[in-house]
Amino acid sequence: MSTHNQFRLRSACWTAFWMLCSSPAFSQDDNTPRSAVVPSPMGIHTWFIIVVVGAFLAWCISYSLQIQKEALKRRTSREGLTMRKNLYLKELAELESQREAGTISDQRFKRLYVNTRLRLTKVIAELAQAEPDRDASQDG
C-alpha cells in the first residue's frame, strides 16, 4: 500500500471515530444530577478591592492637586515672596561667611552666589510688580 493511501485510510478512520463520539447515542445522559453552579465568593471581594483602590487613587489625585494649588498660591503671594527674599538673603550671607572661613572653593562660591543673586533678583521684581497692585486696591 502506498503512503498516500495509508494517509487517506487513517484520516477516514479518525473522521469516523470523531463522528461516532460526537453523536448523541454515545453522549452522556442529560438526566444525571449535575453539580450546582455557585457564584464565586471572591467575586464581591474583587469588586470591593477595585472600588477601594479607585477611591484611593481619586483621593491621591485630589490631594496632589490641592497641594499644588496651595504651593502656587504661596509662591505668588506677597508673604511667600517676602519669605523667599529673606531666605535668599540668608543664603547669600552664609555663602559670604563660608568664603571668609575658607570652607568653600572659589568656583563653587561664584556659581552658588550668582544663582542665588539671580533668584533674589526675580523675587524682588515680582515683589515690585505686586506692590502697584496692592496700592491700587488700597486706594479704592
Q: Are residues 98 and 86 in the same domain?
A: yes
In a domain, 12, yes or no: no
Measured CA to CA, the distance from residue 23 to residue 12 in angstroms comes to 17
Across the range 32-59, mean pLDDT stands at 87
User: Into how many domains does the chain fold?
Assistant: 2
% residues pLDDT > 70 (the chain)? 79
Is 140 in the same domain as 88?
Answer: yes
pTM surpassing 0.85?
no
Considering only residues 115 and 34, tell me which one the structure prediction assigns the higher pLDDT. 115
135 or 94, which is more confident: 94
Whether residue 34 is contained in a domain is answered as: no
The string of pLDDT tens digits covering residues 95-111 is: 999 999 999 899 999 99
131 in a structural domain: yes
Domain extent for 63: 45-75
Q: Please check whether residue 5 lies inside any domain of the structure.
A: no
